[in-house]
Structure 1
Amino acid sequence: MKVRADIVELLRAGCSDREIARRVHVCERTVGVARRAFGFPQHKPGPTADSPQDLFRARTRPVGGGHLEWTGYRTTAGTPFFRWMKKGYTAYRIAFVMAHNRPPVGRVQPGCGHPGCVAPAHVEDQPMRDQLKTQMANIFGGAL
């Protein structure tokens, strides 16, 4: 049986059949056949956690400059996403709550300039971005 190398690599990394199928654009059945052919065990869901914050910490890793990289699932739009107790969360929103102890208003995104950073101290909600924009306009006389 001939199996694509990228599928085998993702099986070795511990990805689910659904995740592999989504990443390499094949059906889940194809991945399941490869999993059985190579003797990989059925995928088990990720780490259990007592809170969304614990799950967030389990799926991030530090990178240079105080940034955090998301190691978990991403939506097709590239947004870091996970489920806890059958409810969906973006990593950005959980990071925001961890840093500011309040729910965010509007869209949350990294304000540090590092693409995809989910470090709690680096994410901003809409009012924070609006305030920064106003401050910059005051400093530079509306030249922005």
Structure 2
Amino acid sequence: MSNSTDWRTSAACRARGVHPDAMFPERDKERIDYARTICAGCPVSMACLRDAINSGDTQWGIRGGLTPEERRAVKKEINRRLKAAEETQAAGKKADPALQRKSCTSLGELFEGNTKRLVHGHLTWTGPARLTFQGQVYSPRKVAFIVDRGRPPSGRVMTTCGLSGCVQPAHIADDEERTACGTRGGYQRHYRQGTEVCGPCRQANTDADNRLRRTGTSKQVAA
């Protein structure tokens, strides 16, 4: 198998034996939410999304946690940026800093120049899967975390909103933020470790699922 398709063997929908129909929910909101939960935490969600965008798979199913409409919006934005870069180069003008990543002077600029807002407050990453800044390699979620928290993450940075690939700072958390019991992160930790789920974690996960159905995000909004 070539390296370009290796990621598929690690996809959560395949590893968990999910029926293929579950990832093609059409316009049923509950089924879409369920498909997004399958994508949440998938180790190859970004690879899946990139493959969908690059191959033009923007008509059916949930890929990388995004619906076809959301994938088309991402593809449109990527094409807009490419066209703008070509036009400025042809005109002999200085390109938009967002298109010249080397000219960025901070991670904040990189973050602003490589994200696009989606529905329900989600943000998707439109730049490379890995980028280098001042000699350090960063993932999109790590950039989002550092820009928002002002500190390096502890362990892995993962989405908490159910939309795989989302880099909205309010929708991500590192290991330190996720591991406390009584949170959805705590529930996911029990699941990953194969330990019995405690009552507070089970309730927190149920509450997060209910918020996701009502508002499109599992993140609790502060009063």
**TM-score normalised over the length of structure 1:** 0.57
Percent same amino acid at aligned positions?
A: 30
Alignment deviations for residues 11-38 of structure 1 (CA, whole Å, 9 cap, x no partner): 99749xxxxxxxxxxxxxxxxxxxxxxx
In 1, distance between residues paired with 2:139 and 2:114? Answer: 12
Equivalenced residues, count = 101
Aligned match of 2:111 in 56, 59, 76? 56
Secondary structure at the aligned position of 1:114 is classed as coil
Note the residue ranges of structure 1 that are not aligned, 5 or more in a row: 1-5, 16-39, 75-80
Partner residue, 1:137: 198
Q: For the aligned residues, what is the CA RMSD?
A: 3.2
Partner residue, 2:137: 88
Matches within 5 A, 1:114-125: 114-125=163-174
Assess if the C-alpha contact under 8 Å between 2:107 and 2:147 holds in 1: no
The letter for the 2-side match of 1:56 is F
Identify the structure with the greater helix proportion.
Answer: 2
Assess if the C-alpha contact under 8 Å between 2:160 and 2:171 holds in 1: yes
Partner residue, 1:71: 126
In 2, distance between residues paired with 1:129 and 1:137? Answer: 15
Partner residue, 2:149: 100
Structure number with larger C-alpha Rg: 1
**TM-score normalised over the length of structure 2:** 0.38
Shift, 1:71, TM fit: 0.5
Secondary structure at the aligned position of 1:88 is classed as strand
Distance 1:114 1:11, change over 3 A: closer
Alignment deviations for residues 15-64 of structure 1 (CA, whole Å, 9 cap, x no partner): 9xxxxxxxxxxxxxxxxxxxxxxxx97xx973321101211110001001
The letter for the 2-side match of 1:70 is W
